């Protein structure tokens, strides 16, 4: 909350939020936040109470990231793409007593609200419905005066639920300190200036928008809300709103790189180049090279997890990178990089817990400890102990360390393909195939094989207007990779199944072939 206090004092007159036709200065934005805090207090919300939100990137969703914490309450931002049953589980598991929803989700929540016995109030951020409190009316009628409790840096700030693919979602407990250290580290490595403009291409619910919900405010920047990812609208907002920053998962960047951009799309904002921060899955070097070459944007790869608030590493540029060709520089930029100054300690260890040799070949698991690591999983001590019982958070990501100290993920441990005793990185194979001119997206999974145990199989989305055969894909892979790494088969699909944060659901692809 110190970020809000400082920005309110220094930059109250500056534009804070753009949401369609709505434009708010920081003075107006924080007045609304205070009024919502006051209204929540009147509804009986206090220290430690949980307030859940189900909404896209709107000004109301952003206001929740200030109005709820400054009461000492805990925000539970829910993935709006989940099912009503998931809503029920998360609301009940978190113990939320207030549920706020955008108009698109009022009916879904209404259909299951009788299964949420502890919820005292349902609030409609937009739209209206019987039995729902009107958010705008509540703000208009509330006072901006309320008593603010003292907040300790280790108090709980948010509970962020991970995407459950094989089990129920787990509630990641993020403290005020976790989030503040991530924001400070982000601004150290990815400095944003006063008045720079940030486009919300990343869902705010996902790891608190990688803490950019607070980072942009700390910098005195402007939040440009985007309710749905659409390349044409993104290009329009970049041009019309003079966007200088955006964050996006690699799958979103692939969509932008392959979309038809307007001829008058500026390569640079008035302040500088359009800065793109990407994470969520290892980006392909080909995607980075295409974005930087096509648009003149500057792409920076960061790495982390919801459990680490979320950034652990940043692929920080070095002077020696400047002399590389664009293709070679993109290869380096696709690595996960080095620790943020503020994040804590990262190691890549073997099965016995020893650090692997920094040779760019020896694979180990990324483990971390320090400032950004969560307080644990909410009401799940067993899962907490499994993940970090030895004092280190175990990421489940398999990686190598290069001689320069830069970390590079080779796969999720569970997705490493072991074929005939050889370890095959699905990320490496995907990166190679994305250089094929006909391939827009690709996912590699291991499928059972009588002789080799398992072999790589490619699921390919072909670019519009292009054509390619299975044999051509396999031949291309064999030309650019060791032959044992090339896929043995190819399935052409119109789209790849993804989570709301852009991660490819490989378990779904495996089921398609079983």
Q: What is the model's pLDDT at position 500?
A: 62
Same fold, 25-175 and 229-411: yes
Beginning with the edge strand found earlier in the chain, give each strand of the sheet holding 22-25 in spatial order.
Answer: 22-25, 15-19, 222-224, 197-199, 245-248, 275-278, 298-304, 311-314, 338-339
Whether 76 and 93 have beta carbons less than 8 Å apart is answered as: no
CA dihedral of 208, 309, 43, 146, whole degrees rounded to 10 = -100
Nearest CA to 218 among 246, 243, 240, 190? 190
**Residue 307 to residue 376: CA distance in whole angstroms:** 8
Q: What is the model's pLDDT at position 266?
A: 61
Work out the burial of residue 52: count CB atoms within 10 Å of its CB; fewer than 13 is exposed, 13-18 middle, 19 or more buried. buried
Q: Does domain 416-512 have CATH number 3.30.300.30?
A: yes
By DSSP bridging, strand 22-25 and strand 15-19 are antiparallel
By DSSP bridging, strand 156-161 and strand 133-134 are unpaired
Work out the burial of residue 5: count CB atoms within 10 Å of its CB; fewer than 13 is exposed, 13-18 middle, 19 or more buried. exposed
User: DSSP readout, 224-244?
Assistant: E--SS--HHHHHHHHHHTT--
Coil, helix or strand at residue 159: strand
Nearest CA to 17 among 185, 209, 241? 241
| Other beta carbons within 10 Å of 287 | 24
**Residue 105 to residue 177: CA distance in whole angstroms:** 32
**Residue 303 to residue 269: CA distance in whole angstroms:** 26
Taking the model in full, what pTM does it have?
Answer: 0.88
Q: What is the model's pLDDT at position 167?
A: 64
Per-residue H/E/C for 349-418 = ECCCCCECCCCCCCCEEEEEECCCCCCEECCCHHHHHHHHCCCCEEEEEEEEECCCCCEEEEEEHHHCEE
The region, left, alpha or beta by phi > 0 then psi within -120 to 50, assigned to residue 502 is left
The string of pLDDT tens digits covering residues 354-395 is 999 999 999 999 999 999 999 999 999 999 999 999 999 999
- Token code pair at residue 312: 């652990």
| Other beta carbons within 10 Å of 483 | 9
**Residue 203 to residue 158: CA distance in whole angstroms:** 15
CATH code given to domain 229-411: 3.40.50.12780
Which single residue is written with the structure tokens 């002077």?
Answer: 319
Mean pLDDT of the chain: 92
Nearest CA to 241 among 10, 55, 11, 19? 19
Listed by start position, the domains of the chain span 25-175, 229-411, 416-512
Coil, helix or strand at residue 247: strand
Q: What is the model's pLDDT at position 484?
A: 84
Q: How far is CA 190 from the centre of its chain?
A: 16
Whether 461 and 430 have beta carbons less than 8 Å apart is answered as: no
| Other beta carbons within 10 Å of 263 | 5
Nearest CA to 292 among 280, 271, 278, 276? 276
Q: What is the model's pLDDT at position 270?
A: 42
Which residues does the chain have with pLDDT short of 70?
164-167, 266-272, 421, 500-501, 514
Which single residue is written with the structure tokens 């800065």?
Answer: 275
Work out the burial of residue 55: count CB atoms within 10 Å of its CB; fewer than 13 is exposed, 13-18 middle, 19 or more buried. buried
Q: What is the DSSP letter of 105?
A: G
| CATH number of 25-175, picked from 3.30.2350.10, 3.40.430.10, 3.40.50.12780, 1.10.730.10 | 3.40.50.12780
Show the CA angle centred on residue 312, arms to residues 183 and 285, nearest 5°: 110
Show the CA angle centred on residue 422, arms to residues 416 and 425, nearest 5°: 35
The secondary structure element, H or E, covering residue 19 is: strand 15-19
Whether 442 and 459 have beta carbons less than 8 Å apart is answered as: yes
**Residue 222 to residue 146: CA distance in whole angstroms:** 26
């Amino acid at each position: 909350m110190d970020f809000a206090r400082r920005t309110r004092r220094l930059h109250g007159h500056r534009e804070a939020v753009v949401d369609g036709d709505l434009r708010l200065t920081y003075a107006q934005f924080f007045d609304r936040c205070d009024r919502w805090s006051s209204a929540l207090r009147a509804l009986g919300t206090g220290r430690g109470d949980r307030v859940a939100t189900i909404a896209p990137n709107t000004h109301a969703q952003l206001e929740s990231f200030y109005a709820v914490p400054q009461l000492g309450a805990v925000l539970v931002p829910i993935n709006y793409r989940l099912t009503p049953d998931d809503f029920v589980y998360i609301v009940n598991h978190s113990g939320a007593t207030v549920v706020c929803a955008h108009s698109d989700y009022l009916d879904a929540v209404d259909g299951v609200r009788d299964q949420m016995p502890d919820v005292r109030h349902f609030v409609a951020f937009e739209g209206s419905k019987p039995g729902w409190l009107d958010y705008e009316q509540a703000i208009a009628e509330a006072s901006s005066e309320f008593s603010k409790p003292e907040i300790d840096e280790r108090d709980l700030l948010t509970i962020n639920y991970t995407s459950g693919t094989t089990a129920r979602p787990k509630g990641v407990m993020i403290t005020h300190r976790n989030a503040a250290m991530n924001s400070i580290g982000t601004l150290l490595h990815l400095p944003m200036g006063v008045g720079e403009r940030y486009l919300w291409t990343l869902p705010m619910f996902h790891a608190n928008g990688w803490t950019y919900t607070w980072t942009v405010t700390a910098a005195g920047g402007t939040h440009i809300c985007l309710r749905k990812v659409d390349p044409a609208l993104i290009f329009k907002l970049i041009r019309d709103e003079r966007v200088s920053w955006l964050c996006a998962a690699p799958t979103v960047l692939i969509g932008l790189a392959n979309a038809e951009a307007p001829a008058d799309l500026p390569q640079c904002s008035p302040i500088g180049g359009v800065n793109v921060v990407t994470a969520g899955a290892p980006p392909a070097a080909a995607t980075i090279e295409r974005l930087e070459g096509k648009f003149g944007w500057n792409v920076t790869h960061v790495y982390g997890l919801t459990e680490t608030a979320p950034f652990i590493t940043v692929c920080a540029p070095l002077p020696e990178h400047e002399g590389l060709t664009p293709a070679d520089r993109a290869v380096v930029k696709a690595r996960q990089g080095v620790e943020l100054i503020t994040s804590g300690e990262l190691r890549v260890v073997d099965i016995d817990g020893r650090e692997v040799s920094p040779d760019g070949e020896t694979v180990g698991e990324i483990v971390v400890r320090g400032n950004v690591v969560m307080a644990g999983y909410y009401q799940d001590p067993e899962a907490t102990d499994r993940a970090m019982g030895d004092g280190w958070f175990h990421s489940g990501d398999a990686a190598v360390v290069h001689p320069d100290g830069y970390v590079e993920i080779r796969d999720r441990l569970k997705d490493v393909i072991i074929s005939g005793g050889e370890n095959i990185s699905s990320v490496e194979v995907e990166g190679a195939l994305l250089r094929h001119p006909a391939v827009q997206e690709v996912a590699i999974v291991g499928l059972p094989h009588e002789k080799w145990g398992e072999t790589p199989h490619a699921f390919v989305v072909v670019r519009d207007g292009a054509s390619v055969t299975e044999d051509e894909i396999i031949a291309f892979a064999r030309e650019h990779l060791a032959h044992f790494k090339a896929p043995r088969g190819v399935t052409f699909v119109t789209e790849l199944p993804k989570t709301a944060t852009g991660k490819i659901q490989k378990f779904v692809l495996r089921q398609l072939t079983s």
